[in-house]
A and B are shown apart, each in its own frame.
Chain A
Amino acid sequence: MRLPAWLAQHLAALRALLVLTVLTGIVYPLVLVGVAQLPGLKHHADGSLITTAGGRTVGSAIIGQSFTDTRGRPLAQYFQSRPSAAGSGYDPTATGASNLGPESVVDVLPNPQVAGDRGKPSLLTQVCSRSRAVGELEGVDGRRPFCTTGGVGAVLAVFHHDGLTGPVTRVVSLDEACPARPFLARYQGVEVECARPGADYSRGVVTPIRGDAPAHPVVPADAVTASGSGLDPQISPAYASVQAARVARVRGASVDAVRRMIEAHTSGRALGFLGEPAVNVLELNLALDSRYPFRG
């Protein structure tokens, strides 16, 4: 019996797909799983797991982790990782970034009527509050441009008499929920109000205020921004350096000794130009634990 052409074609297609599935979908990956068992490859292929001298597996050398207590507060004896948008932080089963854009500056303020409502902080407010927190933890200046000293975005809704033009009639500090006292008393002669959760300020022109924070903040950029994966195992040498004094103090080591350990765990650029210098946080913390154990 001769099959109609269209049916023969689809049968050939199905057979081609099955043959190629066996080859590229079964044989090929399994061969590579086999090759990956070779010494030199196996450690990587299994996930670069790190086991302590006591035989405990504490994670992967290339997957970051949080060094915080159960309530999310930084453990002072450890170098801290970057902020993470993966799940509740460094969760490999929910990887990803914040995806908030460059003009994400207006918070959805928490509704005081709803218990536990935390609102939706804008990226700007997240950056500001992280910067302030790091500043407090490390005892350095945590101020940043476009941030209030309270650690939220310094953003005004400016209402004009004729929509986008005309004299200013009303000004609201969008990221400061009442009863906060706004970071700015007056703007163009008009008193600045705090923001009421749920109120509609969409007719105001969103105006971020630069403020007088230094152009080059002490708290480095990677300390206030989440990575792409949410699993970034590394921090910049600058962020490690900011943390050195605190870790040294808590562990009773000299700052110089801690700085030397940072250097030992800093990987430079491959071939001198690939990537950026970076410090592996887990490996550094493990080395500290064995060299300067924390007696808390």
Chain B
Amino acid sequence: MSSTTTGLIFIVSLLVALVAVYRPFGDYMYRVFTSARHWRVERGMYRLVGVDPDGEQSWGVYARSVLAFSAVSVLFLYGFQRLQNHLWLSLGFPSVEPGQAWNTAVSFVTNTNWQSYSGESTMGHLVQMAGLAVQNFVSAAVGIGVAVALVRGFTRSRTDQLGNFWVDLVRICLRILLPVAVVGAVVFIAGGMVQNLSAGQDVHTLAGAAQHITGGPVASQEIIKEFGTNGGGFYNANSAHPFENPTSWTNWLQIFLILAVGFSLPRAFGRVVRDNRQGVAIAVVMAVLAIGSVLTVNALEVAHHGTVPQAVGAATEGTETRFGVPQSATFASATTLTSTGAVDSFHDSYTALGGAVPLANMMLGEVAPGGTGSGLYGILVLAVITVFVAGLMVGRTPEYLGKKISAREVKFASLYFLTTPTLVLVGAAAAMSSASTRASMLNTGPHGLSEVLYAYTSAGNNNGSAFAGLGVNTPWYNTTLGLVMLLGRFLPIVFVLGLAGSLARQNPTPASAGTLGTHQPLFVGMVVGVVLILIALTYLPALALGPLAEGL
């Protein structure tokens, strides 16, 4: 079979697997979010934290808890990196520089996992496993928690109670993320991933040269890197590194894990709002966008337009032999459709248009299916905007899931939508306006602009993948990208929680003959259309100067 054919089977097999887990995994998550029972170990943890697990929070308190937890996390992670040379398992690495430590701390707390550092030459094992990997769990849990709070907002009436952040955080970590991580890590080790605390081993190769075979607790970090849509690699080469992704089937499994939570959360959403069709509609919107994107990258990379790919005869630069071009392209698409940002091939060397698709995926706001939790709240905000647009067309107050979408709700949704493009475009423009920051580009011409645009798009949308030629370990990029990640994560979260609070206060509105059926194909098509049109209007000028100028 040709690799194009096997690449298509690869995509279909992922689709089948995701459809298969949609119900059971979604139902399981629904029970986690709604169960009234606490596990005994959870009760112990609530005592240690000092919170009442049965007390609920208003949207403001929920938001402040998220912000407090994240602020403490940033400070903790910053200090951890700065002091790593005094701690165990530092492998002799010095303290991480302040700018880079700030950037990395923010990056992991915001679920971005942008890496201005190179893992194998910067971070000791203790910082990786007890600092960075912890955020892989908790930042994913924060995202899911916020999404659940929004869904509660849709289902509750005349209340300001949206759940308890600490309970959501602990349960999601203990009941969803950890069990999968434990099982998955063992599977990954069986596939060839390393899991040790060794500083590595010096060997003499067959040709007589010295080679340092690195060690580390890789498998335990790798699994949550994908399942929590984090993406920060243990090593610089990320999932292209044979120790992080040893075989073609671990590659499949990684893509599946990246997409699993995002595609199954709509089922949990449907269960909570007591209408499974609403969940299916949201999942179908995600699937339409995702399938379109995956097929487009595959087609463009297989067609390999561009001078160098034509000279080579294939778009193999930056890809691994064991994965091949099409299955690397599928990974590239999945990692940018979510907030993951792990890479198994290097997007900077993709064909001009093939590399534009991952960029556009992120610009969509990562909603197909998006990061853990952030994908669901992102698409629900877009659904709110869609019913608003639909309401304008027919001159009727829009409703969604029995709630009126009035001025207050639309304001929150609009603020949510405007935040990221503002950060991305202002950030990229600022970086392009100075010769010293332009000097960080590896490639020249439009491709250089693409590198900068990609960096700010990735940071603003909390993705973390890169056109990695850009040299970003400079004070300017460490500082500004850190700020963009921080604002790109927490401003939208505050707006989402505000929206949730405002929805929860309302009385339910009974559906009438004029209510837009938000479970029907018409609505699915409208959401897809609204997403594509809004994004195109926002980003087309920037894209035209970068990848489109290079590829057309």
Task: Look across to chain B and name the residue whose beta carbon is closest to the beta carbon of A83.
Answer: B317
A25 to B211, CA, bound (A): 30
A13 touches B71 (CB 8 A): yes
Q: Is the CB of B205 within 8 A of A58?
A: yes
Within 8 A of A (CB), among B425-452: 442-447, 450
Given contacts A102-B307, A208-B307, contact A63 B469 (CB under 8 A): no
Q: Mark A242-279, 1 if CB is under 8 A from B, else 0.
A: 00000000000000000000000001011111111010
Q: Are A59 and B68 in contact (CB under 8 A)?
A: no
Q: How far is the CA of A121 from the CA of B381 in the complex (A)?
A: 48
Q: Which of A86, A146, A222 contacts B321 (CB 8 A)?
A: A222
Contact of A99 among B48, B133, B206, B348 (CB under 8 A): B348
B519 at the interface (CB under 8 A from A): no
Would you call B345 and A41 a contact (CB within 8 A)?
no
Contact A99 B468 (CB under 8 A): yes
Q: How many Å lie between the Cα of A293 and that of B313 in the bound state?
A: 35
State in angstroms the CA–CA spacing of A99 and B482 once bound together.
23
- Tell me the minimal C-beta distance from A226 to chain B in angstroms: 6
Q: A169 near B: Cβ within 8 Å?
A: no
Residues of chain B within 8 A of A65, CB atoms compared: 205-207, 209, 211
Decide if A173 is an interface residue (CB 8 Å cutoff): no
Interfacial chain A residues near B99, Cβ < 8 Å: none
Nearest-CB residue, chain A, relative to B353: A102
Is A191 engaged at the interface, CB distance under 8 Å to the other chain? no
Q: Is the CB of A270 within 8 A of B248?
A: yes
| B206 x A124 contact (CB < 8 A) | no
Q: Which of A66, A92, A220 has the most CB of B within 10 A?
A: A92
Interface size in chain A (residues, C-beta < 8 A):
111
Q: State the Cβ distance, B338 to closest chain A Cβ, in Å.
A: 19
Q: Which residues of A contact B246 (CB under 8 A)?
A: 44, 62
In the complex, B343 has a CB within 8 A of chain A: yes
* Contact of A20 with B6 in the complex, beta carbons under 8 Å: no
A242 to chain B, nearest CB (A): 14
Residues of chain B at the chain A interface (Cβ within 8 Å): 1, 3, 6, 9-10, 13, 45, 48-51, 64-65, 68-69, 71-73, 76, 118, 120-121, 129-131, 133-134, 137-138, 166, 169-170, 173-174, 177-178, 181-182, 185-186, 189-198, 200-201, 203-207, 209, 211-215, 217, 219-221, 224, 235-237, 240-243, 246-249, 251-252, 305-324, 327-328, 343-346, 348-352, 355, 442-447, 450, 467-469, 550
Name B253's closest neighbour in chain A (CB-CB). Answer: A274
Residues on B with beta carbons closer than 8 Å to the beta carbon of A70? 209
Once A124-B307, A124-B311 are accepted as A-B contacts, the answer to whether A93 and B214 lie under 8 Å apart by CB is yes
Chain A-chain B contacts (Cβ-Cβ < 8 Å), number? 390
Asked if A195 CB lies within 8 Å of chain B CBs, one says: no
Q: A267 to chain B: which residues have CB within 8 Å?
A: 322
The 8 Å CB contact of A100, one of B3, B319, B355, B443, is B443
Query: Bound complex: CA of A214 vs CA of B174, how far in Å?
Result: 59
The stretch from A31-39, A134-142, A177-185 touching chain B is A31-39
Give 1 or 0 for each of A75-119: 1 = CB within 8 Å of chain B CB. Answer: 100100010001000111111111111111110000000000000
Q: Cβ of A156: which chain B residues have Cβ within 8 Å of it? A: none
Q: Does A11 lie within 8 Å of B321, measured CB to CB?
A: no
Complex Cα gap A97–B235 (Å): 12
Chain A residues, CB < 8 A from B71 = 10, 13
Q: List chain B residues, Cβ under 8 A from A102.
A: 305-309, 315, 349-352, 355, 447, 550
Q: Name the A residues within 8 Å of B204 (CB-CB).
A: 56, 58
Taking a contact as CB atoms under 8 Å apart, the answer to whether B192 and A231 are in contact is no
Given the known A-B contacts A49-B213, A104-B308, A227-B320, are A233 and B201 also in contact in the complex, defined by CB atoms under 8 Å? no
Given A17-B138, A44-B194, A66-B205 in contact, is the A28-B181 Cβ separation under 8 Å? yes
A276 lies within 8 A of B178 (CB): no
Please state if B189 and A41 are interface contacts (CB–CB under 8 Å): yes
Residues A278 and B321 in contact in the complex (CB < 8 Å), given A19-B48, A25-B129, A29-B220: yes
- Indicate if the CB atoms of B322 and A276 lie closer than 8 Å: yes
How far is B369's CA from A139's CA once the two chains are assembled, in angstroms? Answer: 51
Once the chains bind, are B134 and A229 in contact (CB under 8 Å)? Answer: no
Contacting residues, chain A, for B444 (C-beta < 8 A) = 104, 106
What is the chain B residue whose CB lies nearest that of A230? B237
For residue A168, CB closer than 8 A to chain B, the reply is no
9 A-B contacts (beta carbon < 8 Å)? A16-B69, A28-B182, A45-B196, A62-B246, A66-B207, A97-B346, A103-B443, A144-B312, A147-B311
- Of all chain B residues, which has the CB nearest A239? B321
Measured CA separation A121–B391 after assembly (Å): 57
Asked whether A145 and B311 contact (CB < 8 A) given A97-B237, A273-B9, the answer is yes
When distances are taken between beta carbons in the complex, the residues of chain A under 8 Å from B445 are 103
Q: Which of A47, A232, A273, A289 has the most CB of B within 10 A?
A: A47
CA distance A282 to B468 in the complex (A): 29
For A270-296 the 0/1 string (1 means CB < 8 A from B) is 111111101000100110010000000
Q: How far is the CA of A134 from the CA of B253 in the complex (A)?
A: 36
B349→A94 contact, CB < 8 A = no
Is A9 an interface residue, CB under 8 A from the partner? yes
- The answer on a CB contact under 8 Å between A123 and B308 is yes
Assess whether A228 is in contact with B137, with CB atoms less than 8 Å apart.
no
**A220 — which chain B residues lie within 8 A by C-beta?**
313
Partner of A58, one of B48, B203, B241, B344: B203
Whether the pair B241, A231 counts as a contact (CB closer than 8 A) is yes
How many whole Å from A235's CB to the nearest CB in chain B? 6
**A46 and B242 within 8 A (CB):** no
Task: Select the residue from B6, B133, B317, B446 with max chain A CB neighbours within 10 A.
Answer: B317
Bound-complex Cα distance A235 to B240 (A) = 15
**Assembled-state Cα–Cα distance A75/B208 (Å):** 11
**A residues near B45, Cβ cutoff 8 Å:** 19
Which residues of A (162-218) have their CB < 8 Å from a CB of B? 208, 210, 215-217
Within 8 Å by CB of B6, from A40, A100, A273, lies A273
Chain B residues whose C-beta falls within 8 Å of the C-beta of A32 in the assembled complex: 182, 185-186, 189, 195, 217, 219-220
Check A161 for interface membership: any CB of B closer than 8 A: no
Cβ B6 vs Cβ A235 within 8 A: no
Q: Which of A64, A78, A100 has a CB less than 8 Å from the CB of B349?
A: A100
Contact present for A59 and B211 (CB under 8 Å): yes
Q: Quote the shortest CB–CB distance from A155 to chain B (angstroms).
A: 8
Is A41 a contact of B349 with CB atoms below 8 Å?
no
Sort A-B residue pairs by CB-CB distance and give the 7 closest, nearest first. A275-B248, A228-B240, A102-B306, A99-B469, A25-B130, A276-B324, A95-B237
Q: Could you tell me the distance between the alpha carbons of A262 and B458 in the complex, rounded to whole angstroms?
A: 42
Contact residues in A for B305 (Cβ distance below 8 Å): 102
Whether A96 touches B236, Cβ cut-off 8 Å, given contacts A11-B50, A25-B134, A273-B6, is yes
Complexed CA–CA distance, A105 and B443 (Å): 10
- For A24, the closest partner residue in chain B by CB is B137
Do B49 and A19 touch across chains, with their CB atoms under 8 A apart?
yes
The residues of B that contact A222 with a CB separation of less than 8 Å are 316, 321
Q: Provide the residues of chain B in CB contact with A226, threshold 8 Å.
A: 317-318
Interchain CB contact under 8 A, B166 and A274: no
Known: A24-B137, A36-B189, A100-B442. A17 touches B320 (CB 8 A): no
Which of B251, B306, B355 has the most C-beta atoms of chain A within 10 angstroms of its own C-beta?
A: B306
Q: Is the beta-carbon distance between A24 and B206 smaller than 8 angstroms?
A: no
Q: Which of B9, B51, B307 contacts A103 (CB 8 A)?
A: B307
